[in-house]
Amino acid sequence: MSPKDLACWLEKSGEKPYRARQILKWIYGRQTDRFEDMTDLKKGLRARLAAAFSNVRLKLLKVERAKDGTEKFRFGLADGARVESIRIPERDHDTLCISSQVGCAMGCAFCLTARLGWIRNLTPGEILSQVRDICRASPRRRITNIVFMGMGEPLANLDNVCRALEILTQSAFGLGFSHRKITVSTAGVVPKMAELGRKTRVNLAVSLNATQNKTRDFLMPVNRRFPLERLLEACRAYPLPPTRRITFEYVLLKGINDTLDDARRLSRLLGPLRAKINLIPFNEFEGAPFQRPEEGHILAFQKVLLDRHMTAIIRASKGSEISAACGQLGAPAHAA
């Protein structure tokens, strides 16, 4: 529940609305599971909370750890659905990649999650629980960054994502993450992009992956509804804070979108924007119809962008041995 929702419930129950902050601080700040342990609340209120609400954790089904320290968490939801979240080690902090849906409807050809199809949206509580539960289950290092780049299209579940973001970014009674350290990625759901920018101050990432509509139509069916021209127009209109840039993710696929002409077109498309480019060499998986380009080819593609004064970073793939790298999440949607 949002603080406002909980305050309204408390007021209707004859309680002081300010108690909402106390309750949420217990849940997120102190990681308390039982209402009876919230000792600065009256016993009667604790009993009513326990009768009216659940405060349960996701069922942790499996944890896998790669040699590079990446951890993949597979969670079971109350209805038997499953999602995956990834903890990625950085030099002095960790990044948590979380899911927003069970499966995904976007159908991107290079993504294993797409093969599951769309099952359902995650609730705000299920989104938050990935963060809350992993923070408690794996406390060795500090998680500072969160990316909505796991299973699902966040903007297709925007209301629930924004409700989760409200608590993720609240320091007084939530999980206390900085807006600047949270990134929401989209495949290009154009009508929802401006709404995200109005509702929150987190970072935006756009999964681009092609410089021509024909190629992007093939790789990303969403482009048939919202082609590159509309997508880039929405990026230009996005209410970007003065010091921020939009991150454009570009999965490099051998022989598909990795030519030097593609690199030149990419620089022309993104040159007018405040843009940062993440080049992601394709992470292969069983049955994938694509291949990762050779290392020299990847570096040549990057050089074209750097020579045109673009910010272009080759994203290091972590966790591929446990299918935890970008595009490799594919937990069975339901228990067998």
Q: pLDDT tens digits for 156-180?
A: 999 999 999 999 999 988 999 999 9
Report yes or no on 24 lying in a domain: yes
Report yes or no on 90 lying in a domain: yes
- 70 and 170 belong to one structural domain: yes
Would you say residue 335 has pLDDT above 60?
no
What is the Cα–Cα distance from 289 to 109, expressed in whole angstroms?
Answer: 8
- 136 and 248 belong to one structural domain: yes
Tell me the per-residue pLDDT of 79-116, one tens digit each, with 9 for 90 and over: 999 999 999 998 888 999 999 999 999 999 999 999 99
Report yes or no on 267 lying in a domain: yes
Residue 37 belongs to domain with CATH number: 1.10.150.530
Is the pTM higher than 0.85? The answer reads yes
pLDDT value of position 239? 94
- 48 and 63 belong to one structural domain: no
- 217 and 98 belong to one structural domain: yes
Q: Which residues are tagged catalytic?
A: 84, 326
Q: What percent of the chain is modeled with pLDDT above 90? A: 86
Given 11, 30, 52, the domain boundary residue is 52
- 176 and 240 belong to one structural domain: yes
For range 143-155, the mean pLDDT: 97
Q: What is the 3-state secondary structure (H, E, C) of 245-286?
A: CEEEEEEECCCCCCCHHHHHHHHHHHCCCCEEEEEEECCCCC
- 14 and 94 belong to one structural domain: no
197 is written with which tokens?
């920018």
**3-class SS at 207?**
strand
Given 52, 71, 89, the domain boundary residue is 52
- The model's confidence at residue 334, banded by pLDDT at 50, 70 and 90, is low
- 73 and 45 belong to one structural domain: no
Range of the domain at 15: 3-52
pLDDT value of position 55? 87
- 8 and 151 belong to one structural domain: no
Report yes or no on 218 lying in a domain: yes
- The model's confidence at residue 204, banded by pLDDT at 50, 70 and 90, is very high
- Least confident window among 171-180, 184-193, 209-218, 223-232: 171-180
Tell me the per-residue pLDDT of 36-55, one tens digit each, with 9 for 90 and over: 999 999 999 999 999 999 88
pLDDT value of position 266? 98
Nearest residue to 35 via CA among 54, 18, 16: 54
- 240 and 268 belong to one structural domain: yes
Number of domains in the chain: 2
pLDDT value of position 336? 47
For range 127-143, the mean pLDDT: 88
Residue type, 154: P
- 256 and 116 belong to one structural domain: yes
Would you say residue 272 has pLDDT above 50?
yes
- 78 and 29 belong to one structural domain: no
> How is 72-120 classified by DSSP, letter by letter?
EEEEE-TTSBEEEEEEEE-SSSEEEE--SEEE-SS--TT-SGGGG-EEE
Pairing outcome for strands 246-252 and 275-281:
parallel
210 is written with which tokens?
């092609």
Report yes or no on 335 lying in a domain: no
- 220 and 90 belong to one structural domain: yes
